[in-house]
């Protein structure tokens, strides 16, 4: 079973949020900084964005 985002953030960050704005910032950072960079993207042939970027750059050399 997948863990709800709220619980995942509490687990990862070890904190609760005092304001809605701080919670929104934490969710944004989690998605944009961690999740989107680590997950496999089907449009990138199931590679992470970082691995795909390396692959593309190495072909240009």
The full set of domain ranges for the chain reads 1-35
Check residue 46 and give its pLDDT.
Answer: 92
d(Cα 50, Cα 10) in Å, to the nearest integer? Answer: 26
Residues of the chain with pLDDT under 50: none
How far is CA 58 from each of CA 5, 6, 13, 51, 53, rounded to the nearest angstrom? Answer: 36, 39, 35, 11, 9
Is residue 26 within 8 Å of residue 10, measured between CB atoms? Answer: no
d(Cα 17, Cα 59) in Å, to the nearest integer? Answer: 44
d(Cα 25, Cα 41) in Å, to the nearest integer? Answer: 23
């Amino acid at each position: 079973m997948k863990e709800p985002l709220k619980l995942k953030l509490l687990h990862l960050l070890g904190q609760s949020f005092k304001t809605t704005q701080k919670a929104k910032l934490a969710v944004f950072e989690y998605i944009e900084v961690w999740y989107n960079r680590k997950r496999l993207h089907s449009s990138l042939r199931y590679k992470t964005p970082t691995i795909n970027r390396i692959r593309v750059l190495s072909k240009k050399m």
